[in-house]
C-alpha cells in the first residue's frame, strides 16, 4: 500500500463507515412503513442515523486540511493542484445539484418546470454544504499564510455558525435574496443541510486536523487522541444532561434542530468515533478493507446509491415509488445489505480501474461530466 495512504487510512475507514451507514439510513427512510416510525426503537435508530451527516462533514474538513498542507505552495502559485482543487469543488457542486434535477435540460427547467419541481433542486444537501465549506477553506488557505491566523478565524467562524443558528433559522431570507441563495442559510424552503449549523461540523474537522498533525509531528499523537477522547466524553455528558431535562429524551435527541446542544452532543460522538477509528487502525494495521475501498470512492458511491433508489426507470417510476414505504424492519435490513454489497463491489471495481488505468479513468471522468453538462445546456 502507498505509504501516504497507509499513514491516514483511518480517514478512509471513517468516511467509508459513515457512507455505509448512510446507505442504510436512506434505505430505511425510503422503504420503512410509517407504522414503525412512532416507536422508541426507530427514534434511537433515527438518532444513530443522524450521526452520518455530521461525521461525513467532519471528516471532509479533516481530510481537506491534511491533504492541502503539502499543496499550499501550488495553491498560492495557481499551479496544477490549484486547478485540481477547483475541479473537485466544482464536481461536488455539480453532483449535488444533479441529484435533484427535475429535467436533464436547461430549456425545460427554464420554461416547463413548475415552482414545486424547482424547489427540491434549489434545496441544499450535504454535498453542496461540503463544496461550500471546501471553497471557503480553500480561499482562506490561499489568502492567509499564517496557520495561527487561519485557525483562529476557523474557530471564531465555527462558534458563530452554531451559536447564531437558532436565530438564523427563524428568518425568511427570500425577502432579501434569491431562493437558491437563501436555502444555504436555513431549511425554511426545504434545505436539508444549510450552512447554519451544519458547516460547523466540517470546519471543526479542519481545526482538529491541524492540531492532530502538530501532535503527530511532535511525537505526541497518542496523548493528543486520549485528550480528545476525554473532552469528547465530558462534552457528551454535559450535553446529554441538559437534553435529559426534556420530557422525552429519546425523541428529543432524534430531532434535527439548530440548538447549541444539538451540535455539541453530535460533535462529541463524531470526535469519539474518529479517535476509535485511529486506534483501530493502529491495532489492526489496516491495509485492506472493503470499508477503505468505499471511503476512497465516496463520491461515486454517494451518487450511485441515490441513483438506484430514486432515478426514474420507466413511466416515471422509481424503486422508491414502487416500494412506497411498505417494508418492515427486516425487509429494510435485507434491502440495505443488498444495496451496500452492490456499492462495495462498485467501489472496488472503480478503484481497480483508477489504479490500473489512471489516465483513462481521469479522462473518462472529465469527459462524462462534460458531456452531461453539454447535454443539459443544449437539450
Angle subtended by helix axes 147-163 and 195-217, to nearest 10: 150
What's the chain's average pLDDT?
Answer: 88
Residue 242 CB contacts under 8 Å (≥ 6 apart), including other chains = 261
Closest CA to 195 of 256, 130, 98, 264: 130
**Backbone Cα Rg of the chain:** 21
Q: How many CB atoms lie within 10 A of CB 375?
A: 12
Q: How confident is the model at residue 357 (pLDDT cuts 50, 70, 90)?
A: confident
pLDDT at 226 over 90: yes
The per-residue pLDDT for 44 is 83
pLDDT given at position 365: 79
Residue found under cell 488557505: 141
**pLDDT at residue 212 in the model:** 94
Confidence at residue 70, expressed as pLDDT on a 0 to 100 scale:
84
In this predicted structure, what is the pLDDT of residue 173?
Answer: 95
Alpha carbon distance 24, 336 (integer Å): 5
Q: What is the pLDDT of residue 2?
A: 46
Percentages of the chain per state (helix, strand, coil), in multiples of 5: 75, 0, 20
Percent of the chain with pLDDT over 70: 96
**What's the average model confidence in pLDDT over 202-219?**
93
Is the Cβ–Cβ distance between 300 and 264 less than 8 Å? no
CB 183 within 8 A of CB 190: yes
pLDDT at 61: 95
* Contact indicator for 302, 127 with CB cutoff of 8 Å: yes
- Alpha-carbon distance 58 to 200, whole Å? 8
pLDDT of residue 253: 62
- Kindly tell me if the per-residue pLDDT of 252 is higher than 70: no
3-state secondary structure 85-144: HHHHHHHHHHHHHHCCCCCCCHHHHHHCCCHHHHHHHHCCCHHHHHHHHHHHHHHHHHHC
CA atoms within 13 A on the CB side of 17: 18
User: 72: closest CA among 3, 129, 7, 137?
Assistant: 137
pLDDT tier at 354, thresholds 50, 70, 90: confident
Please tell me the predicted confidence (pLDDT) of residue 20: 94
pLDDT at 5 over 80: no
- Look up residue 303 and give its three cell numbers: 451518487
pLDDT category at 124 given cuts 50, 70, 90 is very high
Which cell numbers hold the place of 249?
A: 429524551
Quick one: residue 286, left, alpha or beta (phi over 0 = left, psi -120 to 50 = alpha)? Answer: beta
pLDDT in tens, 287-332: 778 888 899 999 899 999 998 998 877 777 888 888 888 999 999 9
Residue 111 has pLDDT above 80, yes or no: yes
Are the C-beta atoms of 99 and 141 separated by less than 8 Å?
no
Torsion of Cα atoms, 318 then 373 then 85 then 299, to 10°: 10
Provide CB contacts within 8 A for 99, sequence distance 6+.
125, 127, 303, 306, 310
CA distance 23 to 101: 21
- Mean predicted confidence (pLDDT) in 32-50: 86
- Mean pLDDT along residues 338-344: 95
Amino acid at each position: 500500500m502507498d505509504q501516504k495512504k497507509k499513514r491516514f487510512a483511518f480517514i478512509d475507514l471513517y468516511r467509508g463507515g459513515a457512507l455505509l451507514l448512510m446507505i442504510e439510513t436512506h434505505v430505511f427512510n425510503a422503504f420503512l412503513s410509517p407504522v414503525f416510525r412512532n416507536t422508541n426503537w426507530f427514534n434511537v435508530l433515527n438518532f444513530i442515523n443522524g450521526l452520518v451527516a455530521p461525521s461525513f462533514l467532519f471528516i471532509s474538513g479533516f481530510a481537506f486540511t491534511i491533504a492541502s498542507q503539502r499543496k499550499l505552495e501550488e495553491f498560492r502559485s495557481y499551479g496544477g493542484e490549484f486547478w485540481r482543487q477547483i475541479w473537485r469543488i466544482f464536481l461536488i457542486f455539480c453532483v449535488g445539484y444533479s441529484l435533484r434535477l427535475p429535467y436533464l435540460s436547461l430549456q425545460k427547467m427554464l420554461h416547463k418546470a413548475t415552482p414545486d419541481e424547482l424547489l427540491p433542486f434549489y434545496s441544499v444537501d450535504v454535498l453542496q454544504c461540503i463544496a461550500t465549506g471546501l471553497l471557503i477553506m480553500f480561499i482562506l488557505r490561499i489568502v492567509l499564510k499564517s496557520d495561527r491566523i487561519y485557525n483562529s478565524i476557523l474557530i471564531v467562524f465555527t462558534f458563530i455558525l452554531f451559536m447564531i443558528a437558532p436565530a438564523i433559522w427563524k428568518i425568511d431570507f427570500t425577502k432579501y435574496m434569491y431562493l437558491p441563495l437563501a436555502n444555504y442559510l436555513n431549511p425554511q424552503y426545504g434545505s436539508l443541510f444549510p450552512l447554519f449549523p451544519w458547516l460547523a461540523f466540517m470546519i471543526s474537522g479542519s481545526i482538529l486536523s491541524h492540531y492532530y498533525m502538530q501532535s503527530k509531528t511532535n511525537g505526541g499523537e497518542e496523548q493528543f487522541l486520549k485528550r480528545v477522547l476525554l473532552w469528547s466524553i465530558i462534552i457528551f455528558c454535559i450535553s446529554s444532561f441538559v437534553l435529559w431535562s426534556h420530557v422525552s429524551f429519546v425523541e428529543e435527541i432524534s430531532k434535527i434542530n439548530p440548538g447549541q446542544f444539538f451540535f455539541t452532543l453530535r460533535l462529541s460522538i463524531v470526535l469519539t468515533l474518529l479517535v476509535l477509528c485511529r486506534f483501530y487502525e493502529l491495532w489492526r494495521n489496516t491495509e485492506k478493507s472493503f470499508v477503505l475501498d468505499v471511503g476512497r470512492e465516496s463520491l461515486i458511491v454517494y451518487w450511485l446509491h441515490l441513483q438506484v433508489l430514486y432515478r426514474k426507470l420507466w413511466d416515471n417510476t422509481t424503486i422508491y415509488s414502487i416500494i412506497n414505504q411498505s417494508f418492515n424492519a427486516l425487509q429494510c435490513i435485507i434491502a440495505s445489505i443488498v444495496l451496500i454489497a452492490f456499492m462495495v463491489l462498485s467501489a472496488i471495481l472503480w478503484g481497480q480501474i483508477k489504479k490500473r488505468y489512471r489516465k483513462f479513468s481521469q479522462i473518462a471522468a472529465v469527459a462524462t461530466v462534460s458531456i452531461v453538462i453539454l447535454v443539459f445546456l443544449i437539450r
